Amino acid sequence: MGFKEIQLTNTEADNRYASYNKEGTQIVFESNRDGHWQIYTMGIDGEKQKRLINSTANDRRPKYSPYKNAIIFESDRNGTSDIFVYNLDSETLKQLPIDLDLNKHFPEFAPNGMEITFSAESKNGVSHFYKCSTNGKRLKKILADNYNNLAPNLSPRGDQLVYFSNKNTQAESNVIYTKNIITNEENRLTYFVNNSEYPSWSNIRGSRIVYSAKINDMLQPEIFIMRNDGTHKIQITYNDFEDILPVWSPNNINLLITGYRNKHYQICKILLKEPLSPDQKALD
């Protein structure tokens, strides 16, 4: 059962947080192969892997812009975790001047390319969500409570967040929620007995969400897909080792995941048009 997998990295170091550019022709990811976390790019089949920025800092969790040839990421080069944008065409780096004296994580461009979202670790150790313009202005808090909320991801229309949180579980496990940032309506998509993390909207219509979860008697998390209302959950990977951090290709026909392979985390591609069982159907 499951779908065909292609391993794209094979290093004696960890490689994580992979995602595509807008055309689906390049992949960006983080790796500690040089001793600390740095940002790398590669082709869609794992070729031409190269380090993008040379620094002595930890540069982490990169994501491409939906319109420009640019990457947003977090870095501790100033002693705290701040947000930076690197333009690949001009090879220029800038820090976003966000007026918030907190560690900032999980930055992403909004689908309109004009705003970003991120989580910020508050003084009491929980994380809240914010958005601002790509020049760091018009800062607005979009989700705040007394729980640890992580990895905000905007829907293609830009009106809903999907994320994971330990709210309503006595902080014992993470579950996945959506929140409409216009109406403030919130929905819970996964449940207490299953630890579910790192959700990501499918592209174009946002009709599906991919995520990692450890359910029932699983020893390690696997990759699942569900409809955006939390129904019709389908298991995608069946491995003996950890599978996490899934994201969609631009046309939704494959996934990039981080899988624990050969004693390290590696970037793998899951081909949703190539099921391993003849009884399975390819996912549209």
Q: Which domain holds residue 98?
A: 3-275
**Confidence (pLDDT) at 229:** 96
Tell whether 116 is covered by a domain: yes
pLDDT tens digits, one per residue of 94-109: 999 999 999 999 999 9
In the numeric block, the tokens 């999907």 are attached to 162
**Confidence (pLDDT) at 123:** 73
Mean pLDDT of 136-161: 94
- CATH assignment of the domain containing 251: 2.120.10.30
Q: By three-state DSSP, how is residue 133 classified?
A: strand
**Confidence (pLDDT) at 150:** 94
Tell whether 100 is covered by a domain: yes
Q: How many domains does the chain have?
A: 1
Tell whether 161 is covered by a domain: yes
**Confidence (pLDDT) at 216:** 83
Spell out the residues 6+ positions from residue 2 whose beta carbon is closer than 8 angstroms to its own. Answer: 235, 236, 237, 238, 275, 276, 277
Tell whether 84 is covered by a domain: yes
**Confidence (pLDDT) at 193:** 75
pLDDT tens digits, one per residue of 218-265: 889 999 999 999 999 999 999 989 999 999 999 999 999 999 999 999
Tell whether 98 is covered by a domain: yes
Residue 171 above 70 pLDDT? no
Tell whether 283 is covered by a domain: no
